[in-house]
Amino acid sequence: MAKQVSPHEAYDLMQKSGYTYVDVRSVEEFEAGHPQGAVNIPLMLRQAGQMVPNPKFFDALSGKFSPEAPLILGCQAGGRSARAVQMLEQAGYRNVADSFAGWGGGQGPTGIQPGWHATGLPVDRGQPAERSWASLQG
């Protein structure tokens, strides 16, 4: 089972241990704000006003990251990232952490935790060329 990490723990893993933050939120959510350095590979896509599963999620992720890559998966409040972590673990990824509080805050091991956005950690906006869904979906 993947370890669950707070936003501060996620940031430390990124800075000290070479982890990559994979933001599994929608393109629109990512564009509005995301952890600095995050890569956007959405688990769900917005189509006709509804969220639908992204059929290219796993292919895009596995095309960019090997099963040994150190990854932190995060979303808005922990639900999508938990599903994505489970999917990756079933596919043989073993160095994956779940940012349970995500961007907006969520339920963690000790109750409700603030998300990345509320912690004062570094934030980016927009669609960085090498880290945007448009450049990664292949």
- The set of catalytic residues is 75
Q: Alpha-carbon distance 49 to 127, whole Å?
A: 21
The CA-atom distances, in angstroms, between 22 and each of 26, 38, 65, 103 are: 12, 6, 10, 12
Pair 80, 48: CB distance under 8 Å: no
Q: How far apart are CA 99 and CA 31, in angstroms?
A: 19
